[in-house]
Amino acid sequence: MTTRRKFLTTAGVAGAAALAAPAVHGQTKIKWRLQTYAGPALAEHVVKPSIDMFNAVQDEMEIELFTADQLVPTGELFRAMQKGTIDMVQSDDDSMASPTEVTVFGGYFPFASRYSLDVPVLFNQYGLGDIWRAEYEKVGVRWLSAGSWDPCHFATKDPIWSLDDLKGKRVFTFPTAGRFLTQFGVVPVNLPWEDIEVAVQTGELDGIAWSGITEDYTVGWADVTDYFLTNNISGAWAGSFYANNERYQELPERLQKLIDMMMDHSHYYRQWWYWGGEADLRVNGPKMELTSIPDEEWQTVEDAALVFWDEIAAESETKAKVVQIFKDYNDVMNKAGKPYRY
């Protein structure tokens, strides 16, 4: 997209003078391209309602939505945004391979959250937002806002009743979640998002650990998997909105504030959509049988997560700071008791 400023550097004197006229400038609509991590069916809920609202309430700017891998592969989202090929991104740090110290904590960092409300509290009250903002400033990208999605569960072809049943299972999941789960015999598989359903049907995948039950039904995975494991490795997916820093700074303050409101609307929509959907589909969903690993056995996984936290913390000062925030926060929640922790 050719911006007005860049065009003036190459335009002739007469052309520049004409373009500089306020009336002409006022008629030029700002257009951004946003690519989300989500496929079309999921994007209808996790981002599209908020973008439609933003585009409807003003006529100065239009955000065009592109879904998973539509412009660039998800793993290239960060570079495309940094270069300005894409103006804005909705993703997690881990999936888009951002070159920051906080990348490992994006998506599903094992047991960093118990409930979806944990994520906005961690970012807005416990300082994660300040850390994310500073890390992305170092690489020339504007981190805008984080929110929560659904918990991370296994959806599988075969039933999972014990940790032994996970061994050898080829599973589509997030990079850091996969790194953690390998110690239990899980084989992480990386494929394009739109190929997952077919990969389960052909036997290339044994299951998926990428979402909760709401997404399994929404995107069609409940049609190709037979079982849903009620144990999860994280209470909520942590994702963010990001923007090309230069493009964001060019926006007038009123549009920046409207984008803030758009993101808040998106976060709020997901809070109730996932929370209600997870419970309703467990009880009333007809497509997958629920299975569970006993609590005393699953405690092995939760204990391993704390070891994993310390391993990550040892990698850098910034990572250690984030892990300490997780520990401090969970300590408060545990001491607060019900309903914060059971």
Taking alpha carbons only, the member of 264, 231, 260 closest to residue 248 is 260
Q: Do 171 and 259 have their domain in common?
A: no
Residue 209 maps to a domain: yes
Average pLDDT over residues 272-294: 97
Q: Do 45 and 134 have their domain in common?
A: yes
Average pLDDT over residues 142-165: 98
Q: Do 223 and 316 have their domain in common?
A: yes
CATH of residue 309's domain is 3.40.190.170
Q: Do 87 and 98 have their domain in common?
A: yes
CA distance 218 to 239: 19
Confidence class for position 193, pLDDT limits 50, 70, 90: confident
Residue 8 maps to a domain: no
What's the domain range around 52? 29-148+237-276
Q: Do 301 and 168 have their domain in common?
A: yes
Predicted local distance difference test score (pLDDT) of residue 342: 82
Q: Do 193 and 79 have their domain in common?
A: no
pLDDT at 340 over 80: yes
Residue 338 maps to a domain: no
- Percent of the chain at pLDDT above 70? 92
Q: Do 222 and 254 have their domain in common?
A: no
Look at the chain and report how many structural domains it folds into. 2
Average pLDDT over residues 73-77: 94
Residue 46 maps to a domain: yes
Average pLDDT over residues 218-229: 97
Residue 267 maps to a domain: yes
pLDDT at 161 over 80: yes
Predicted local distance difference test score (pLDDT) of residue 167: 97
Confidence class for position 194, pLDDT limits 50, 70, 90: confident
Residue 13 maps to a domain: no
Q: Do 227 and 321 have their domain in common?
A: yes
Q: Do 262 and 302 have their domain in common?
A: no
Q: Do 100 and 44 have their domain in common?
A: yes
Which H/E stretch holds residue 82?
helix 77-83
Residue 4 maps to a domain: no
Q: Do 35 and 171 have their domain in common?
A: no
- Token pair 């408060």 is found at 332
The answer to whether 62 touches 105, Cβ cutoff 8 Å, is no
Q: Do 83 and 110 have their domain in common?
A: yes
Residue 18 maps to a domain: no
Q: Which tens digit of pLDDT belongs to each residue from 295-312?
A: 999 999 999 999 999 999
Q: DSSP assignment of 122-160, as one string?
A: HHHTSSHHHHHHHHHHTTTEEEEEEEE---EEEEESS--
Structure pTM? 0.89
